[in-house]
């Protein structure tokens, strides 16, 4: 049995593996991708130049340390179940495997919060994060009639990166609330404990606004029959072949929500569920820990620190040292993490998630093509929450198992019932959380 199994080779998972190996634990690290980095450090290079380079350098450093750490890294590994023990089940190249570990650190990161607008299921509409992945993984840059709409730091970072690489952006629709500055301003002093975030953000915005026309507003539709042909902003039509949407990111809780007894809580500022964690990342389930953005959005630097802190916590749990030494090791890291999290309140206020569109014909569940109107109707029929909503409408029952629609249908149900989102249960997930073949499953039969 290994000491520590880590899921996810993003900043949190990599840092946890490096720290735990350094402390002497036997470590296995799983990631679904072919290489470490996660979304944020995908293909990060030490010699990167231009927007996002500081982050890339940090990622490249983590990757180098990981390679030298001695941790057993398994790439192309899709985790699909965690059971008491803890025991994890994952598949590599179409073969299912089972691994028992004394401790598990889950670091599956974040996903983009979907920004549903009328017509957003048309080919040609995708996430800003998706376009950034195209840039990082294949060197693709936008050309032609590419529009970006939404809000948040990643939107400006991507636009700046795309332009620096020779891409062309036709226009940007900034959907952020112009009044949010007034609400956020009192959090500014706290945010300036770590001025890097604001300085970088402002530099990206400056670079982009010099080269790309920026509109402000919220009324946007995607138009087309078999693919995106145009967008309409406040009734004005613009030719468009690509529309990139962004409204920040949410914790990926697809796995933690499927674990029996693992408690979650509603985070009102980020309008998303997150697992209930102590300062080391322990969940309510013995042996299962969470680090990084999947425990609440904090960004890459905070994620790496929480990975190291979780590794120290796990090492103490396994008897390598006592709580005094644990706290001595983790204390300085927690202070640093506090600094990295300091700008969060400001950013969360400035970029409070956009409301779910009221238009009845807007699709919220992409897989089963369930509209806002159908969900409102289910609420009228007595549906109380997103779990029952499956039986009423099939929303959340498609191939993505609610990954994309969960925040949207949760918000829509809360509105339709005039109930606080915090009072409604999160959508339950069940293992296997990712598809695997019946043959793979059967091979595990005794």
Partner 1 sequence: MFKRTEPTDCSITWQGQAIPARAGEPLAAALIAAGITQFRTTVVSGAPRAPFCMMGSCFDCLVEVNGEANRQACMTLVTPGMAANPMQPEVVGA
Partner 2 sequence: MLGSAIGWGCATRGARVAVLDGGDTALRAARGNFGLVWSQGKGDGLPAYAAWTRASLDAWPALAETISGLIGRDCGLRQQGGLNFCLSDAEFEARRAIVSRLHNQGADTLRMVDRKELQALMPGCRLGEAVVGASYEPRDGHADPLSLLQGFHAGLRAAGAAHLPGPEVVRIEAGRPYVIHRADGARVMAEKIVIACGLGTPRVAAMLGADIPVRPVRGQNIVTERLPPILPLPASAIRQTVHGTVQIGVTQEDDGDPTPFTTTAHMAGMAARAIRVLPELAQARAFRAWGALRPMTPDGFPAYAELDGHPGAFVACCHSAVTLAAMHAGPLAEGIIAGRLPDAVKDLHPSRFARGQNVQAH
The binding site for partner 1 (CB under 8 A) comprises: 32-34, 39, 111-112, 121-127, 129-131, 133-134, 137-146, 165-167, 226-227, 241-242, 252, 366-370, 394, 398-400, 403-404, 434-435
Q: How many CA atoms lie within 13 A of 225 on its CB side?
A: 0
Least distance (Å) between residue 252 CB and partner 1 = 8
CB of 127 to partner 1, least distance (A): 6
Q: Report, in Å, the least distance between residue 280 CB and partner 1.
A: 28
> Out of partner 2, partner 1, none, which partner does residue 428 contact, by CB within 5 to 8 A per kind?
partner 2
Any idea which residue has 């820990």 for tokens? 289
Q: What does the angle CA 342 – CA 344 – CA 346 come to, to the nearest 5 degrees?
A: 95
- Residues near 243 by beta carbon (within 8 Å), at least 6 away in sequence: 120, 124, 125, 126, 146, 147, 148, 149, 222, 228, 231
Q: From partner 1, partner 2, none, which one binds at residue 125 (CB under 5 to 8 Å depending on kind)? A: partner 1
Residue 273, preceding peptide bond in cis (omega within 30° of 0):
no
Class of residue 195 by CB neighbours under 10 A (exposed 0-12, middle 13-18, buried 19+)? exposed
Q: Are strands 272-275 and 264-267 parallel, antiparallel or unpaired?
A: antiparallel
Query: CA 86, CA 73: separation in Å to the nearest integer?
Result: 19
Pick between residue 94 and residue 213 the one whose CB is nearest to partner 2: 94
What is the rounded CA–CA span in Å between residue 310 and residue 287? 12
Shortest Å distance, C-beta 424 to partner 1: 22
Closest to partner 1 by CB, 146 vs 304, is 146
**Closer of 75 and 431 to partner 2 (Cβ):** 431
Could you tell me if 258 and 429 are in contact, meaning their C-beta atoms sit under 8 angstroms apart? Answer: yes
State in angstroms the smallest separation of the CB of 359 from partner 1.
17
Nearer to partner 2, 255 or 291 (CB): 255
Among partner 1, partner 2, none, what binds residue 117 when CB lies within 5 to 8 Å by partner kind?
A: none
**Shortest distance, position 179 Cβ to partner 1, whole Å:** 30
Element (H, E) at 374: helix 372-380
Residues at the interface with partner 2 (CB under 8 A): 81, 83, 89, 98, 258, 260, 381-388, 391-392, 394, 397, 399, 401, 424-425, 428, 430-432, 435-439, 441-446
Considering CB distances under 5 to 8 angstroms, the limit depending on partner class, which of partner 1, partner 2, none binds residue 445? partner 2
Q: Which residue, 34 or 438, has its beta carbon nearer to partner 2? A: 438
Mention every residue, 6+ apart, whose C-beta is less than 8 A from residue 428.
Answer: 257, 258, 387
Work out what residue 444 binds among partner 2, partner 1, none; the CB cut-off runs from 5 to 8 Å by kind.
partner 2
Rounded to the nearest 5°, which phi and psi values hold at 78?
-100, 110
Cβ neighbourhood burial of 81 (10 Å; 0-12, 13-18, 19+)? buried
Q: Are strands 87-92 and 95-106 parallel, antiparallel or unpaired?
A: antiparallel
**Closer to partner 2 at the Cβ: 80 or 204?**
80
| Residue number, 269 or 441, with CB nearest to partner 2 | 441
- Residue 309 site contact among partner 1, partner 2, none (CB < 5 to 8 Å, cut-off depends on kind): none
Q: Residue 98 binds which one of partner 1, partner 2, none, with CB within 5 to 8 A depending on kind? A: partner 2
Q: Shortest distance, CB of residue 369 to partner 1, whole angstroms?
A: 4
Q: Record the tokens describing residue 85, joined without a space.
A: 């023990």
| Residue 233 C-beta: closest distance to partner 1, Å | 20
- 144 binding partner (options partner 1, partner 2, none; Cβ < 5 to 8 Å by kind): partner 1
Question: What is the Cα–Cα distance from 340 to 68, expressed in whole angstroms?
Answer: 26
Please, what is the minimum distance in Å from the beta carbon of residue 367 to partner 1?
7
Tell which residue, 258, 253, 260, 229, has the closest CA to residue 242.
229
Q: Measured between alpha carbons, how far is 294 from 422 in angstroms, rounded to an integer?
A: 18
With CA atoms as reference, report the closest residue to 271 among 421, 372, 376, 418.
Answer: 421
| Vertex 79 angle, CA 430 and 283, to 5° | 65
Q: Among partner 2, partner 1, none, what does residue 438 contact (CB within 5–8 Å per kind)?
A: partner 2
- Least Å distance, CB 138 to partner 1, is 4
Lookup result for tokens 């180098």: 64
Question: Residue 122 binds which entry of partner 1, partner 2, none, with Cβ cut-offs from 5 to 8 Å by kind?
Answer: partner 1
């Amino acid at each position: 049995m290994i000491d520590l199994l880590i899921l996810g080779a993003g900043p949190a998972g990599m840092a946890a593996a490096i720290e735990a190996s350094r402390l002497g634990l036997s470590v296995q690290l799983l990631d679904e991708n072919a290489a470490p980095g996660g979304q944020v450090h995908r293909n990060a290079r030490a010699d990167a130049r231009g927007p996002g380079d500081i982050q890339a350098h940090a990622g490249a450093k983590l990757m180098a340390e990981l390679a030298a750490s001695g941790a057993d890294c398994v790439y192309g590994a899709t985790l699909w179940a965690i059971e008491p023990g803890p025991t994890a089940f994952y598949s590599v190249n179409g073969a299912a495997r089972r691994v028992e570990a004394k401790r598990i650190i889950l670091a599956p990161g974040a996903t983009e919060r979907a920004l549903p607008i009328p017509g957003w299921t048309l080919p040609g509409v995708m996430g800003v994060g998706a376009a950034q992945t195209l840039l990082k993984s294949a060197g693709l840059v936008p050309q032609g009639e590419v529009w970006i709409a939404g809000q948040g730091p990643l939107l400006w970072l991507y636009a700046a990166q795309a332009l620096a690489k020779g891409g062309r952006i036709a226009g940007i629709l900034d959907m952020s609330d112009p009044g949010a500055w007034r609400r956020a301003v009192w959090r500014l002093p706290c945010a300036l404990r770590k001025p890097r975030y604001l300085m970088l953000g402002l530099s990206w915005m400056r670079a982009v606004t010099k080269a790309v026309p920026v509109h402000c507003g919220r009324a946007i539709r995607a138009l087309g029959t078999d693919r995106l042909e145009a967008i309409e902003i406040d009734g004005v039509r613009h030719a468009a072949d690509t529309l990139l949407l962004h409204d920040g990111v949410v914790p990926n809780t697809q796995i933690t929500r499927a674990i029996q007894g693992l408690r979650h809580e509603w985070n009102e500022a980020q309008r998303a569920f997150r697992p209930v964690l102590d300062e080391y990342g322990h969940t309510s389930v013995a042996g299962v820990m969470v680090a990084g953005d999947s425990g609440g959005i904090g960004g890459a630097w905070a994620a790496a620190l929480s990975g190291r802190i979780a590794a120290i916590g796990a090492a103490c749990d396994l008897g390598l040292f006592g709580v005094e030494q644990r706290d001595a090791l983790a204390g300085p890291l927690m202070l640093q993490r506090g600094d990295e999290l300091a700008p969060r309140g400001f950013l969360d206020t400035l970029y409070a998630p956009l409301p779910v569109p009221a238009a009845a014909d807007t699709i919220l569940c992409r897989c089963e093509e369930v509209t806002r109107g159908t969900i409102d109707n289910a609420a009228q029929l007595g549906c109380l929450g997103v779990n029952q909503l499956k039986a009423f409408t099939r929303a959340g029952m498609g191939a993505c198992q609610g990954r994309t629609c969960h925040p949207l249908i949760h918000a829509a149900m809360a509105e339709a019932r005039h109930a606080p989102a915090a009072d409604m249960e999160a959508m339950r997930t069940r293992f296997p959380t990712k598809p695997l073949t019946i043959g793979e499953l059967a091979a595990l039969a005794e």
